[in-house]
Structure formats: structure tokens, C-alpha cells
Amino acid sequence: MTEELPPEGSAPNPDLTNPEPKPESSSRWQRARSAMRRAASLPGTGLDFLYRTGQAYRHFTLPVLNGAIGDQLAERQDRRAIQMSFRQHGADVGVADLRLSTEPQKTVVFLHGLMGDEMIWQSGAADTPRYGPLLQKEAGVRSLYVRYNSGLHISENGQLLNVLLTELFEHHAEVIGELVLVGHSMGGLVIRSAGHYGVRKGQEQAPWVKHLKSVFLLGVPNDGSFLEQNSHLTSVLLRKINVAPTRFLSKAMDQRSNGIKDLRHAWLVDEDWQSPHANDIFAPRTMVPPLPGVHYHVLVGSLLKTMGSALDHYFGDGLVGGGSAIGRTFGDPALPAGTVVTTSVFAQQSHIGLLSNPEVYQYLRTNV
């Protein structure tokens, strides 16, 4: 069979010489090209996203690093190890260089928790209260913020806070007025530890202690953290199994910072973590009583609508159990004379939510 050619001089058949692609094929090709362009741009887009995210949260990455391995950074004098300091305008400020009003004014000092920084008290969503600036505006107090290396032992930070507050009164006693301390989570334990070292036997009482009016403890694991207790138990069990994989996992888990490990029993003094029995399941713990004449406000969060159940006692606000937040020390019905403790429970409130809750703010506003 022979192919019939078109007559000489006639125009070629466009359907034979240059067939047009079907619309469906053209659409698939356009989608494929578009997908290839997107794929080629992904590395640049991803890097840009990471950069912008890092810039937005750069104030937070360093505190997280310090909370995780801050003790190791401090031991090798790494420049990334945070030094305890007052903070103003996003920078460390020496006590002598603090810009304070010349009139005496009630002063509220805020301490963040594990892996946090001073920004948790100052910034956030537009519809959530940030306690530091609001109290300064509405209650007429002076708000000061402390940042510290939360990977260090709690007792080490307690001693550093005792020194910092002592320096505050040495330089600015005439304008401080009454002193109020507010701590979230680990920050509350650091405050309690500082109080212990501020009135330690055989030493002169620190000047800030006699000016201390109130302490607010927001979601503080006063009897320890169930998360760290479970981590320690898991590490011990893995080590007991004693095969190569479990030994590796146990060793890796044990690299968490001293600050995290201290949360197991809420150790507030050096002697507890220095004890030869510190790694026992039932390790010794020194009870640190409240300072006499100081009003302690224990603010407890609960994820549940109703409190008092065994579930609430253990899980509480999701990170700190309700029983631990109240604590044996503050829940003791036979507290020493001169001790004032008020406990308030906030239902359906998470651990982080305690930092930006209108009801919590109103409590602070009313009692500060």
C-alpha cells in the first residue's frame, strides 16, 4: 500500500506536519513544569523559612540550649553559657547600671522556668496579658526581670540569686521599697533556694530578705517533677538490663543537665545532689521551709474541670502534678508560726497557660 502525497504546490496538511497537542497533554506538561520549578525552589525557600524563624525566636534558642546542657557549657566556659543577670531591653545589665526611678517603689522581680527567658513575662499574643508590663502600668510597681542558666543546679542558681538581690539592695536600697518575687516552674524553686541561702545559719541575713513581702509560685514542682522522676527510673532500668543498646540509651539520657536532674526531687540545697545516695530511687531531700513573715502565694494549674482527683494530683497542669505544686511544705496544716500561705487552683489551665491567663493576672494584680 502506497502513501498518497498531496498535489505539487499545494499547502501541507497542518494536521500532518505540525499536529497540535491535545489540551489534556498540554495541561499535564504545565503542571509538571510548575512542580519542577517548585521543587527547584524548595531548598532556598526552606533556608529562608529557617532563617526567618531563627530570627523571630533567636532570644529563645539560647535559653533552650542552656536548659538542656547549660551545666556543660558553664564547665568549659563556653561563651553561650548564660550568666545570671537582670535584663533590660534584651541585654544583660549590671546591677549598678540599672535604670530605676528615683522614687521608692514596690519592686517585683520575675524569674522564668526551665529553658525560658525574661521574654515570657513581657511579650506574647495581643489578646493575652503579659504580667510584667501590665503590673507596672496598672499596679504602679517596678518590674525587673532576671535571666539565668537553667541547666545549672537549682541550688547554684539559688546562691547566685541571693548574691544578685543582695547587690540590688547594696546599690538601690533607697528606691526599692517592698520586694516581691514571682517565679514560674523552676524559677520558683530558685527563689526558694535563694531564701534558704539568704538566711543560712552562721551567716548574716541577706539585706533583701527583710524587705521581702510576697512570693508568688506559679506551677512550681515543689515536690519534684513526675517527668524527671520517670526519666530517672527509665535510665536506671536501662542500665540494669546492661546490654550494649540499653547502656548506650542510658548514657545518652544521663547527659541531660543538672538543672533537669534536680527537678526529680526539687533539690534546693547543695548537700542533696552532692549526697552519695543522690541517684537512689528514694534519694534524700532537705526540706526548705517558707521564710517567716513572707506571704507565699501558691498558684496551681489543672487541666481538669474539677480538682482533687488522683489524676489531677499526678498530672496537674500537664507538666507539674497538682500534689507537687501544692507541696508537702506548703500543704502542711501545721506550718510554723509566722508563715502565711495562700493556695489557689486554676481549672482547665496548662503549665504554660499560667503565664498568660487573665484570672492569674487578676490574682497577681490584686495581691501584689
The DSSP code sequence of 21-38 is PPHHHHHHHHHHHHHHHH
Q: How many CB atoms lie within 10 A of CB 262?
A: 26
pLDDT, one tens digit per residue, over 63-110 is 999 999 999 999 999 999 999 999 999 899 999 999 998 899 999 999
Phi, psi of 168 (to 5 degrees): -60, -45
Closest CA relative to residue 88, chosen from 72, 68, 71, 109: 109
pLDDT confidence of residue 8: 52
Q: How many CB atoms lie within 10 A of CB 368?
A: 19
Q: How many CB atoms lie within 10 A of CB 279?
A: 15
State the pLDDT confidence band at 247, using cuts at 50, 70 and 90: confident
pTM of the model: 0.83
Residues β-bridged to residue 295: 214, 340
Q: How many CB atoms lie within 10 A of CB 121?
A: 25
End-to-end CA distance of the chain: 104
- Looking at the chain, which runs of residues are DSSP E strands? 85-88, 91-93, 107-111, 142-147, 179-184, 212-218, 295-301, 340-346
**Residues sharing a CB contact under 8 Å with residue 247, sequence separation 6 or more, in sequence order:** 238, 239
Cα 62 versus chain centre, distance: 12
Taking the C-alpha atoms of residue 2 and residue 51, their distance in angstroms, rounded to an integer, is 68
pLDDT, one tens digit per residue, over 196-237 is 999 997 789 999 999 999 999 999 999 999 999 889 888 888
- Burial code (b: 16+ CB inside 10 Å, e: under 16) for 30-60 equals eeeeeeeeeeeeeeeeeeeeeeeeeeeeeee
Taking the C-alpha atoms of residue 343 and residue 354, their distance in angstroms, rounded to an integer, is 14
Taking the C-alpha atoms of residue 324 and residue 301, their distance in angstroms, rounded to an integer, is 11
Among left, alpha and beta (phi > 0; psi -120 to 50; other), residue 38 is alpha
pLDDT, one tens digit per residue, over 249-301 is 888 888 899 999 999 999 999 999 999 999 888 899 999 999 999 999 999 99
